[in-house]
Structure 1
Amino acid sequence: GTTVPTPKDYKPRTAVFTRTQMADLINAAHRKRGHAFIDNKPVKDAPIWMHLARFLLIAIYTGSRKDKVWRTSFKNEKDCPWIEFKGSGSTRIAIYHRIGDKEVEHAKRLAPTIPVPARLAAHLER
């Protein structure tokens, strides 16, 4: 028969970011300003990496895979993960639906719905 090549074994990661390094990275992304087009008009001094800061915050707080985080929406689009806000005022909470209604959950890549930590919810609501 035919032999299927298998990938070689890779060494596990030995370096990880510290909490301080991640905070510095998020702050740099949050502060980065540059030229952008907003409503089809050129704007100077616009926050151009805000999406990166938001991506990092969601990934860190939820431990979700990058594909789930990248596709996350703030409305239920049925085919992607989404964040739902419920309530108002001090009782406002957020729920992260890590799999869309029409997506298939795989046994090896479980993605249960989880509550969003209050600190992350505050960042996302801005």
Structure 2
Amino acid sequence: MARLASWWGRPVFAASESRARGGRVASLTGHVSDIDASTCQSYFAFVGAPRSASRDLELLRAACNHANGQKALDGVVKVWLPPKAQPRQRWLTRSEVARLLWTAWRSKRSVNGRSGGSDEWHTRRHLARFILLATYTGSRKQDVLSACFEQRPDGGYIDLDRGLWIRRPTSKVVTKKRQPAIPLPTPLLAHMRRWHKAGQTFAVEFNGRPVQNIGKAFRELVTDSGLGSDVVPHVLRHTGVTWGMQNGMDIWDASGYFGMTVQLLTDVYGHHHADHLRDAAARMGRRRQ
């Protein structure tokens, strides 16, 4: 919303920026009538980050459609959208995940800024817990950060007695981003019971408090682990789903477990499945009778 307002809410600036980028725009007025293909394309170039700009324009389109449905506009406003980006293909090998976990678990606080000097205060173990939970359940970042061992209306509930994670908070309405309740893998459940016994209320917390934003700390961990900048928190979800496919998980079971449609699972991750095209390869290897 802030990015959209910084462009559409400043018509003189937007018009100047559009013309500087070769756009064919007249003087803008700051009204909805400014929205057309040229100004949308200029906004896309202005933001610079394709994924962020695409999401912004999708949000703008939804707002215009809502306003049109409420008969707040004189006519239909068409928002230009760029071609859909290819889905992320990056996923982590088990050795890469182990490297992240090892670095996060062993990291300690530096003392007086001295190189190599540190005390026994571990500063990244919350990242290790985040990585374990996100990878072995294929869950989204916010679901992991809000997961709690106590029932709360604003977060998911981890039932340690039944070994069940109810990912959708009771206060949240159901959306297209499904958050089904899932049983937890036995090794992960054992870890969580230890965390709770040690005094944790949330699955991921720092200094006894839930972690709201993990972006900066995760980027620094990735750098210190020797991995590339393409490794972002959402890659852990891709990794979990990919591992499930490679282990031969049933498509229908995977759809329910990861909260994805069968179509999306097949289109994006189907080629990782252990049985993908295996029957075709076997038939090609047979001699014709």
TM tier, shorter chain? 0.7 to 0.9
Aligned pairs (5 A) from 1:2-81 = 2-34=77-109, 44-81=119-156
Q: Which has the higher helix share?
A: 2
Q: Does 1:103 align with 2:169?
A: no
User: What TM-score results when the alignment is normalised by the length of structure 2?
Assistant: 0.36
Deviation at 1:97, TM superposition (A): 0.9
Partner of 1:120: 188
Which protein is bigger by CA-based radius of gyration? 2
Distance 1:100 1:122 in 2: 23
User: What TM-score results when the alignment is normalised by the length of structure 1?
Assistant: 0.78
Partner of 1:90: none
Distance 1:125 1:85 in 2: 7
Q: Which has the higher strand share?
A: 1
Q: Which amino acid aligns with 2:81?
A: T
Distance 1:19 1:45 in 2: 28
Deviation at 1:100, TM superposition (A): 1.6
Distance 2:90 2:172 in 1: 33
Question: Structure 1's 7 and 65: CA in aligned 2 closer, same or farther, altered over 3 A?
Answer: farther
Gaps (5+ residues) in structure 2?
1-75, 111-118, 195-289
Q: Does 1:94 align with 2:169?
A: no
Gaps (5+ residues) in structure 1?
36-43, 87-92
Deviation at 1:79, TM superposition (A): 1.6
Q: After TM superposition, which residue ranges in structure 1, 4 or more long, deviate above 6 angstroms?
A: none
Q: Does 1:85 align with 2:134?
A: no
Q: Which amino acid aligns with 1:120?
A: L
Deviation at 1:64, TM superposition (A): 1.0
List per-residue Cα deviations over 1:4-48 (Å, max 9, x = no partner).
23244213323321111011111211111116xxxxxxxx32121
Q: Which amino acid aligns with 1:118?
A: T
Identity across matched positions, percent: 34
Question: Structure 1's 85 and 14: CA in aligned 2 closer, same or farther, altered over 3 A?
Answer: closer
Question: Structure 1's 7 and 75: CA in aligned 2 closer, same or farther, altered over 3 A?
Answer: farther
